[in-house]
Amino acid sequence: MSRISCLIVETDQESIRQIDILSRRSGAFEVRWKTHSLTTGVDIIRKHAPEMAIVGLGPDVDDSIGNISMMARDFPSLYLVVLSDRTDSDLILRVIRAGAHDFLSKPVKEADLRSVAEKAAKLRSTRKESAGRGGKIISVFSNKGGNGTTTIVVNLADALFRLTGKKIAVVDLVLAHGDVTMFFNVNPSYSILDLAKNAEKADYDFLHTLLVRHTSGVYVLADPPLVEEAEQIAASQVREVLTTLRSMFDYIIVDTPHQFDERTLTALEMSDIILLVSLLNLPSLKNTQKCLELFNRIGLRDERVRLLLSRYLPNDEIPKESIEGIMNCPVFSSIPNDYPTVISSINRGKLLSEVAPDKEVTRSFDQMAAILDGSRPAKGEPAKRKGFLGNIENIFRRRGA
Ligand SMILES: Nc1ncnc2c1ncn2[C@@H]1O[C@H](COP(=O)(O)OP(=O)(O)O)[C@@H](O)[C@H]1O
Ligand SMILES: [Mg+2]
């Protein structure tokens, strides 16, 4: 297990030097970043995700505590330690209430530092084991190819990163013939197979070796380079891979295969949100409805499942508003149909935000990211049924969907 990676945000150079020396001597953690500026510190956390941050309390205590509270909220997986030359219990209580995990008083003692590092290491291993907490897994699924699933995965990941600056990983679970690396135009040396084989020993450094960081800021875990290697990955390993990723990333966006094998089901079952991709035409809706029925049978049909209309063209025969009633599932969002823009971005190995930032199709990903991250409310109640909805329901009934 690697040492805990630590950032120090402190203006007092003597304290920084002291912590650095003590950390080297004890070997309990490694000071990798030092800064006197909180803004730089926050940037470092966003970019490098240290496991622990020791943050000096500034002269304006209220202001500092406000900042601690913001950091605790924005970086829930960071072990946050406050450093101060004041030791009054009122202050310590306020700091802990603001969300800090621990408190160190100046001058820092080696035993105190070691104890803090031990607690941070404990939290790290608890996080790794805990499947329920940590980052959110968003699986994008369609039971038919060609609906735009991979397009949604990569551009949603990009939009989420641009909106939040959080740590985002994209996983290509289309193991035998994934497209994610092509869409991102990256050529990683490692793949999900390497992580699957070593998931139990994956620490921060190992994981960051296996995933390639795209210029957008999104991390990519590739499909295996050889088709036959896909078979070597078991459903239990998919579970381990996702559990590991969840401990170190805020969002894990999974591109899933178009068939229900055990590995796909494992990913869906572990997901916090399942974006079920459909087109707004009868064959596709029928397929999607079958899929929802299957979800129902296997206990996956709950509030996690959101319908996502891809390649959306307003259609008088099947108004978007009627879909929720027919499917009995909320329509989460829709991605406009814009073939020239999308295919040009794919062919150039670029994201939509790079080639067409102002197009409606690109903006639809920004809107979706804002809803997913909670910075924009989701749509309210399902829309009211429209007059000729009955016709569509009849079509569905007639066709035995
Ligand atoms: N919003 C969209 N508008 C128009 N065409 C799209 C859109 N999204 C995807 N496509 C096109 O659909 C095809 C399949 O997209 P892809 O993302 O590979 O789907 P999947 O992963 O479901 O097979 C691509 O040719 C792509 O250009
Ligand atoms: Mg695909």
Q: Which two tokens mark 343?
A: 């295919």
Return d(Cα 78, Cα 124) in angstroms, integer.
Answer: 9
Instruction: Give yes or no: residues 376 and 357 share one domain.
Output: yes
Instruction: Give yes or no: residues 77 and 155 share one domain.
Output: no
Residue nearest to atom 14 of ligand 1 (CA): 146
Instruction: Give yes or no: residues 36 and 171 share one domain.
Output: no
Residues, the chain: 401
Closest ligand to the CA of 152: 1
Q: Among residues 129, 146, 163, which one ends one of the domains?
A: 129
User: Side chain identity at 221, as an amino acid letter?
Assistant: L
Q: Among residues 129, 164, 184, which one ends one of the domains?
A: 129
Q: What is the DSSP string of 276-337?
A: EEE-SSHHHHHHHHHHHHHHHHTT--STTEEEEEEEE---SSS-HHHHHHHHTS-EEEEEE-
Return d(Cα 58, Cα 15) in angstroms, integer.
Answer: 13
CA 198–ligand 1 middle distance (angstroms): 33
Instruction: Give yes or no: residues 226 and 104 share one domain.
Output: no
Residue nearest to atom 4 of ligand 1 (CA): 339
Instruction: Give yes or no: residues 169 and 59 share one domain.
Output: no
Question: For the whole model, what pTM was predicted?
Answer: 0.67
Closest ligand to the CA of 145: 1
Instruction: Give yes or no: residues 55 and 153 share one domain.
Output: no
Instruction: Give yes or no: residues 125 and 256 share one domain.
Output: no
- Residues linked to residue 6 through DSSP beta bridges, in sequence order: 31, 52
Residue nearest to atom 9 of ligand 1 (CA): 148
Cα–Cα nearest to 159, from 13, 321, 376, 4: 376
Instruction: Give yes or no: residues 154 and 122 share one domain.
Output: no
β-strands 4-9, 29-35: how paired? Answer: parallel
* Domain assignment of residue 24, given as a range: 4-129
Quick one: 284 exposed, middle or buried, by C-beta within 10 A (0-12, 13-18, 19+)?
A: buried
Pocket of ligand 1 (CB under 6 A): 142, 145-151, 179, 310-311, 335, 337-339, 342-343, 346, 361
Query: What's the domain count of the chain?
Result: 2
Distance between first and last Cα of the chain? 52
Instruction: Give yes or no: residues 99 and 176 share one domain.
Output: no
CA 342–ligand 2 middle distance (angstroms): 13
Return d(Cα 223, Cα 181) in angstroms, integer.
Answer: 8
- Give the pLDDT confidence score for residue 398 in this predicted structure: 42
Cα–Cα nearest to 181, from 133, 214, 215: 214
Q: Are 176 and 233 in contact (CB under 8 A)?
A: no
CA 285–ligand 2 middle distance (angstroms): 18
In terms of DSSP H, where are the helices of 135-279? Answer: 149-164, 180-184, 192-198, 204-210, 235-248, 262-270
- Give the pLDDT confidence score for residue 127 in this predicted structure: 58
Chain centre to alpha carbon of residue 148: 20
- Give the pLDDT confidence score for residue 99 in this predicted structure: 83
Instruction: Give yes or no: residues 375 and 248 share one domain.
Output: yes
Instruction: Give yes or no: residues 39 and 145 share one domain.
Output: no
CA 175–ligand 2 middle distance (angstroms): 11
Closest ligand to the CA of 155: 1
Which of 151, 170, 277, 339 is the pocket-test mutation for ligand 1 (most atoms within 8 Å of CB)?
151
Which of 258, 280, 288, 339 is the pocket-test mutation for ligand 1 (most atoms within 8 Å of CB)?
339
- Kindly report the CATH number assigned to the domain that includes residue 333: 3.40.50.300
Residue nearest to atom 26 of ligand 1 (CA): 343
Q: What is the pLDDT along the chain (401 residues), one digit of tens a residue?
A: 578 999 999 999 999 999 999 999 888 889 999 999 999 999 898 888 888 999 999 999 999 999 998 888 777 778 999 999 998 999 998 998 888 989 999 999 999 999 999 888 887 766 555 444 589 999 999 999 999 999 999 999 999 999 999 999 999 999 989 999 999 999 999 999 999 988 767 777 788 889 999 999 999 999 999 999 998 999 989 998 999 999 889 999 999 999 888 899 999 999 999 999 999 999 999 999 999 998 888 878 778 899 999 999 988 788 887 888 888 887 899 999 999 999 999 999 999 999 999 999 999 999 999 999 987 666 543 333 333 333 344 444 444 43
- Kindly report the CATH number assigned to the domain that includes residue 11: 3.40.50.2300
Q: Among residues 110, 129, 148, which one ends one of the domains?
A: 129
Instruction: Give yes or no: residues 142 and 119 share one domain.
Output: no
- Give the pLDDT confidence score for residue 381 in this predicted structure: 34
- Give the pLDDT confidence score for residue 206 in this predicted structure: 84
